[in-house]
Amino acid sequence: MGRVFSIKNDQAESRLFLRRIYVALTFIVLLTVGLIVRLVYLQIVGHEHYATLAKENSVKLTPVPPTRGIIYDRNGKVLAENTPSYSLELIPEQIEDIDDTLARLQKLFDLPGEKIEQFHKQRKREKRFNSVALLPAMTEEELAKFAVAMPFFPGVEIKTHQVRHYPYYDLASHVVGYVGRINEAELKDLPMPEYQGTNHIGKLGIERTYETQLHGKTGYAEIETNVQGRSLNTINEVKPVPGANLYLTLDIDLQKTAYDALDFYNGAVVAIDVKTGGVLVFASRPGFDPNPFVVGISGEAYKALNESENQPLYNRALRGLYPPGSTIKPFVALAGLEYDKIHAPQSLYCPGYYTLPGVDHKYRDWRKGGHGSVDMIRAITESCDVYFYRLAQMLGIQNLHDFLQQFGFGEKTGIDLYGESAGLLPSPAWKRAKRKQRWYEGETLISGIGQGYHQVTPLQLARATATLANHGEVVTPFLVDKIITPQGVLRGPEKHGESIPLKAGHLDAIFAGMINVVHSAAGTAKRIGYGIPYQIAGKTGTAQVFGIKQGAKYNESEIDFKLRDNALFVAFAPADDPKIAVAVVVEHGSHGGTVAAPIAGKVIKQYLKTLHED
């Protein structure tokens, strides 16, 4: 067998070796350059960024929430305050079996399942070494129970904190409102830097409208932490700026008088300072206790409030819509004078009903036999319906609409509260747009006595009455008089609108008729005018809740309470130098003179007595 010989190519191997050396060298150089570039970036270009990250690993910014501002009435009585409260809190890291601990606590305090669910939701947002509240506001009984059982609950502790409290409960609930826990929807719109560490926000009333001022400015503390995030010590602290204190125009004593005077009736009372527009009384009955909403009202309790036939959550003063009834008559009479459709001494005959030409339907007067021949003053005094049927026909619906609109009917007043209703001031254009129907002349007649489509809020009615008392000078109702901040005192949103141009002397007959309502023998509210050294100008009103068939009789004793007429009354006093205007609406009160007027009388007398004493 022959031998095989291989011929070695030293030159080729040498070239291959050099090529590999060059590739390796190039790779090493590139790695070296990359390393140098990275070092330059880390040490020079990115130094500030990474230094900050390193600091944040060891220093944590903890928000320090501000103290919420206090709300006072006009005399310095506290309407909303911050009071010490005790909460039961669990530290999950220190509890071996948290489910067992929760089960025992649930049994100890007889807690509903939703409380445990809320705890678990909150727990998921916190680190294991942070405490989580199970009972945000403990009662004295709960504190006593836990004091005995505390040794058997390691990792469970009681902490003290501030909680919002409303000392007047239902009396001012619709005005002051309440705060509640921030929900997911609100989180999206809130400026988060300012609300870090804050769990509550204004939900209703003044608490909501003035949330920014009441909340204050959040501070923060720089706290050194370890790698697990535990706090070691405080390095620096910027103190929070407390929320502003608010002083309202509301008189809580006067509010109580109005609220109590409504007694078992549902309704509303609004009183306004004629000169400024400051709201003195803003009562809506029934009210509700706002305190449970602060710590989280139970589903069962909220359902009971929400489904109550008396609707305690409904702000009747701000949102309630009612036909104004005969309280509109002084304004209709003034419109007749301003448009030169009638003169105050001119008499119209009232046989007890009114009919349109060629129509059999009778528009009835409240007095079956009629009032006979009546002029404007007597028509207002005795509330003659026939007089105002005829006057409304003389004016026409468009003139009537345009004149009443100047007094703010059909429009929001602009008060510093959310959720105000605008009411409804009907017109042919409105009916065409909303109902796709033409306007009928009979609808003009009933508009002249405040029936039909016309709807007002008690607040709107009070403002119109104040404007009338103010000789046409329009004021905007407001509740916050002063805002006290660390920087000084700010004034509330007092505003004056344009004056309604009224002809000289036209108000004389209107005021004379309204004074007679209270102070004459024939007046429909004469009971409230006795024994006072000044005169009250007022107007009663009774508004139907349902229509009565032609020829049928209204028998109050045979009608279900909920179908009885609403009772209304508007007034201002003193008549010669008005200082207060009041509007009262009593649901199903039947008679403005006997039910609504005495409520206004109590408010007026107390307020003017207080002014005299001051």
Tens of pLDDT, residues 81-125: 999 888 888 888 888 898 999 999 988 988 888 888 888 887 776
Which of 231, 248, 265 terminates a domain? The answer is 248
Please report the pLDDT score of residue 29 as a whole number.
Answer: 80
Looking at residue 155, what is its pLDDT? Answer: 87
- Of 171 and 2, the structure prediction assigns the larger pLDDT to 171
pLDDT at 454 over 80: yes
Residue 59 confidence (pLDDT) above 90 = no
Output 530 or 613, whichever has higher pLDDT.
Answer: 530
Same domain, 66 and 85: yes
Is residue 21 one of the residues assigned to a domain?
A: no
| Cα gap 424→433, rounded to integer Å | 13
Q: What is the mean pLDDT of residues 548-574?
A: 71
Same domain, 227 and 324: no
- Average confidence score pLDDT of the chain: 88
The structure tokens 């005790």 sit at 86
Give yes or no: residues 441 and 368 share one domain.
yes
Q: Is the pLDDT of residue 13 over 90?
A: no
Higher pLDDT, 567 or 192: 567
pLDDT surpassing 70 at residue 487: yes
Question: Closest Cα to residue 570, out of 589, 580, 584?
Answer: 584
Give the domain CATH number at 469. Answer: 3.40.710.10
> What pLDDT band is residue 554 in, cutting at 50, 70 and 90?
very low
Amino acid letter at 248?
L
| Domain contains 513 | yes
DSSP H or E run through 193 = helix 192-195
Give, in order, the Cα–Cα distances in Å from 130 to each of 94, 182, 196, 204, 225. Answer: 10, 20, 16, 31, 14
| Average confidence (pLDDT) over 409-416 | 95
**pLDDT value at position 287?**
96
User: Is 299 in the same domain as 340?
Assistant: yes
Q: Which residue has the higher pLDDT, 548 or 538?
A: 538
List the structure tokens of 553: 């009789």
* Length of the chain, in residues: 614
Query: Residues 261, 217: one domain?
Result: no
Which of the pair, 569 or 35, is modelled with greater confidence? 569
Per the structure, the count of domains in the chain is 2
Mean pLDDT on 596-605: 97
Query: What CATH number should be reported for the domain holding residue 97?
Result: 3.90.1310.10
Distance CA 384, CA 333 (A): 12
More confident residue, 332 or 29: 332
Kindly state whether residue 609 falls inside one of the protein's structural domains.
yes
Tokens 């809580």: give the residue.
Answer: 252
Confidence of residue 494 (pLDDT cuts 50, 70, 90): low
Provide the pLDDT for residue 486. Answer: 84
Instruction: Give yes or no: residues 466 and 573 share one domain.
Output: yes
Q: Say which residue the tokens 């205007």 belong to.
A: 581
51 in any annotated domain: no
Q: Which two tokens stand for residue 25?
A: 């060298």
Rounded to two decimals, the pTM is 0.83
In a domain, 127, yes or no: yes
Is residue 523 in some structural domain? yes
Q: Is the same domain home to 277 and 210?
A: no
* Residue 14 placed within a domain: no
Least confident of 31-45, 165-179, 396-410, 448-462: 31-45
Residue with more model confidence, 375 or 61? 375
φ, ψ (nearest 5 deg) of residue 260: -65, -35
Please check whether residues 104 and 240 belong to one and the same domain: yes
* Residues near 434 by beta carbon (within 8 Å), at least 6 away in sequence: none
pLDDT reading at 535 higher than 80: yes
Question: What is the reported pLDDT for 337?
Answer: 98
Tell me, what's the pLDDT at 46? 60
Query: Looking at the structure, do residues 321 and 364 belong to the same domain, yes or no?
Result: yes
Greater confidence (30 vs 468) lies with 468
Consecutive H or E run containing 149: helix 140-149
Residue 343 CB neighbours (<10 A): 12
Q: Does the residue 431 lie in any domain?
A: yes
Q: Which of 215, 248, 281 corresponds to the end of one domain?
A: 248
Residues contacting residue 363 through CB under 8 Å, at least 6 positions apart: 353, 354, 355, 385, 386, 389, 442, 445, 446
Instruction: Report, as an integer, the average pLDDT of 380-385.
Output: 96
Check whether 8 has a pLDDT greater than 70. Answer: no
How do residues 322-348 score in pLDDT, each as one tens digit? 999 999 999 999 999 999 999 999 999
- Predicted pLDDT at 414: 93
- The per-residue pLDDT for 1 is 47
Same domain? 268 vs 134: no
Residue 225 shares a structural domain with residue 263: no
Residues 209 and 279 in one domain: no
Q: The tokens of 256 are what?
A: 């109580």
- Give the residue numbers spanning the domain of 161: 62-248
Work out the average pLDDT over 396-412: 97
Q: Which helix (H) or strand (E) holds 514?
A: helix 506-519
pLDDT at residue 230, as a whole number: 58
Active site residue 326: yes
Q: What is the mean pLDDT of residues 532-538?
A: 96
- Could you say which of 209, 231, 248 is where a domain stops? 248
Rounded to the nearest 10 degrees, how much is the dihedral formed by the CA atoms of 263, 168, 466, 394? Answer: -40
Structure tokens at 68: 């919420």
Q: Is the pLDDT of residue 558 over 60?
A: no
More confident residue, 408 or 614: 408
Res 231: pLDDT? 59
The rounded Cα 447 to chain-centroid distance in angstroms is 30
Q: Which of 326, 383, 427, 447 does the annotation list as catalytic?
A: 326
pLDDT tens-digit readout, 191-245: 877 787 788 899 999 999 999 999 999 887 776 665 555 556 667 777 889 999 9
